[in-house]
Amino acid sequence: MDNWQDKYLCPLVEKEKFSLKKVKKLVEDFRILFIHSISFHDAPKEPIEELPDFTSKDTDMVYSVCREFYNDANERIDKLEDKAIKLLSYVSALFAFISFAFINTSIILTKIILAISMVLLVLSMLISFRCVNVKGRKSLFIPDVFNFESDIPKDNFDKKVISKKLLNTAIYNQNIGDNTADILKAARYVLALALIVSTIGFITGIGGYFKTSDATTTVKIENQVELKDIQSRLDIMNKTLEQISNNINNLDNENLQEEIDRLSNELELYKTNYESLLKRLENIENSINIEGN
């Protein structure tokens, strides 16, 4: 007797054989999906004809099945939106990594290849955004449960009627899901292409990332006289400030206000001098940085 697993279970998935025809078909599929994903789209359309009325007497089963179709269509769109958001996070992380590699290489060819991969990643982001917050899906509303054609609105709370509306709405939403899936597939194709291009860029510039520079930078300062002048002025100002502090501690109450006014004027003068000295030091530092570069 044959093993029941071989008879009643699905066989193992075999690896697909390489074929140029399949590669050509993949490239053509990518071309069609890419053009579709970056193009403007018309609003979704209703089917040419609605489904016929249900004849089954088991209305509970009919309603249950149609409700399941309706929920599945909405859940499919929600899952596609979640996948698009996750894809955006992957693309953002990869973009940051490639940007870091782009900045830290000095090889022109590598920079060009990495720049192309970053452009592809931006395209993948833009395409993925079209799969987030999908609009246009249908849902049941008041006109679906009330008939307003007569003078007095009449309700249509019949399980067969509601089931048919649920099923027609599910068909409409599945069409939106199919379109969203195609756009998301195009974004994945572009991401895969960006990965291939960036890998080529890393390979071409791999030597540049491990190259260390043995050259030392020597900074030559030619304005020693100015630095000594600044240093001497700062020493004088520090001594004066110490003297002012000692005088304040030795003051009596009668001369306190007079001395405070005089010291306030002197401090303002020193503040101006400090700002002038700091500006001169800043200019010297900038000139040193320019010479160092």
Stretch among 7-21, 202-216, 217-231 having the lowest mean pLDDT: 217-231
How far out from the chain centre does Cα 122 lie? 9
Look at residue 143 in the predicted model and tell me its pLDDT: 74
How confident is the model at residue 272, as a pLDDT?
72
* Region of poorest pLDDT, from 42-56, 73-87, 118-132: 42-56
**71 pLDDT above the threshold of 70:** yes
Average pLDDT, the chain: 81
Annotate the chain with DSSP letters as a single string. ---HHHHHSPPPPPPPPP-HHHHHHHHHHHHHHHHHHTS--PPP---SSPPPPP--S-HHHHHHHHHHHHHHHHHHHHHHHHHHHHHHHHHHHHHHHHHHHHHT---HHHHHHHHHHHHHHHHHHHHHHTTSS--------HHHHEE-SSSS-EE---HHHHHHHHHHHHHHHHHHHHHHHHHHHHHHHHHHHHHHHHHHHHHHTHHHHS-------------HHHHHHHHHHHHHHHHHHHHHHHHHHT--HHHHHHHHHHHHHHHHHHHHHHHHHHHHHHHHHHHHHHHH-
Rg over CA atoms, the chain: 38
Res. 220: pLDDT tops 60: no
The mean pLDDT value for 235-263 works out to 64
* Higher-confidence position of 107 and 240: 107
Q: Report residue 244's pLDDT band, with 50, 70 and 90 as the boundaries.
A: low
The answer to whether the pTM exceeds 0.85 is no
Q: How confident is the model at residue 33 (pLDDT cuts 50, 70, 90)?
A: very high
Q: Can you give the pLDDT at residue 226?
A: 60
Mean pLDDT value of segment 204-218: 61
